[in-house]
Amino acid sequence: PTQSVLYSFPDTATLSDSLAEYILKAQRESVDKRGRFSIAISGGSLPKTLTALIGKTGVKWDKWHIFYADERVVPLDHPDSNHHLAKNTLYSQVPIPHENIHTIDPDLLDNLEELADAYEKELVREFAQKDSARFPVFDLILLGLGPDGHTASLFPGHELLSEEDRWVAYIEDSPKPPPRRITLTLPVINHAARIAFVATGAGKAPMLNAILDNPEQGLPAARVKPAAPGQLVWFVDDPASAEVKFP
Ligand code: 6PG
């Protein structure tokens, strides 16, 4: 079984700094091996934690290939867009080549199925060129944890939790607005080389306890279990880990 590791920090500044070191190490290993670093990021407070990488020695922004673990189906400059958030928070401050940032296709917003298929093709272009891998292997997927146990746009009790084939799926009934979204599926997430969850604040404490101590409840975040040799690491703050018993 996959081992997961939990790191808990007194504040978000030390958390962000440690996460930055973790990402840097992942980037180094990936660039050494393949000349590129493929990463999927989430929305919420996550892009802000990534700003700890700005100015650090050794970050090779031109080798980053960025995808979204999930994205809201809205125009790319809409305030609800995860891309818009990441652009304002991070990309505007660092030299990532524009073509390395993989957004949803803004011309397909009216057709969810085509939009999800197009994003899946974008992943195929990035990952499936060498071997005909069944699922892409991201170097790193960064995930948040919703107060209901959702992660990416995989919500509790949703039929997408049992998706076994698709790489990218869409939903039009997200319980959290906006309702129309695309998301990486669980098999894609679980094939990543590394997965890091970031969760902060006392509001996350009951959910962190449910995910880590009672995974048999089957909440979406508890289904994130990377296949060996994948790694799963939690970066949380002390208020969020206050109710965790997990050794
Ligand atoms: C969404 C949100 C959501 C968010 C989590 C964690 O898509 O509705 O982005 O998934 O990532 O609720 O949020 P925080 O990182 O802000 O705690």
Please work out whether the CB of residue 47 comes within 6 Å of at least one atom of ligand 1: no
Compute, in angstroms, the gap from residue 145 CA to the centroid of ligand 1: 6
Residue pair 51/83 in contact by the 8 Å Cβ criterion: no
- Residue 66 has a pLDDT of 98
Assess whether pLDDT exceeds 90 at residue 9: yes
As a CATH number, domain 4-241 is 3.40.50.1360
Note every long-range contact of 161-165, with CB atoms under 8 Å and residues 24 or more positions apart, other chains counting. 161/186, 161/218, 161/220, 161/223, 163/187
Please work out whether the CB of residue 25 comes within 6 Å of at least one atom of ligand 1: no
Compute, in angstroms, the gap from residue 55 CA to the centroid of ligand 1: 26
What order of strands is seen across the sheet that includes strand 64-68? 4-9, 231-237, 194-199, 140-144, 37-41, 64-68
Please work out whether the CB of residue 46 comes within 6 Å of at least one atom of ligand 1: yes
- Residue 3 has a pLDDT of 77
Q: Would you tell me how many other CB atoms lie within 10 Å of the CB of residue 77?
A: 11
Residue 189 pLDDT level (bands cut at 50, 70, 90)? very high
Assess whether pLDDT exceeds 90 at residue 111: yes
Span 105-131, average pLDDT: 91
pTM score, two decimals? Answer: 0.97
Residue whose CA is at the smallest distance from ligand 1 atom 8: 176
What residue type is assigned to position 144 of the chain?
G
Span 177-190, average pLDDT: 97
Return d(Cα 70, Cα 113) in angstroms, integer: 15
Please work out whether the CB of residue 103 comes within 6 Å of at least one atom of ligand 1: no
- Residue 128 has a pLDDT of 75
Distant-in-sequence, close-in-space partners of 87: CB < 8 Å, separation ≥ 6:
none
Assess whether pLDDT exceeds 70 at residue 132: no
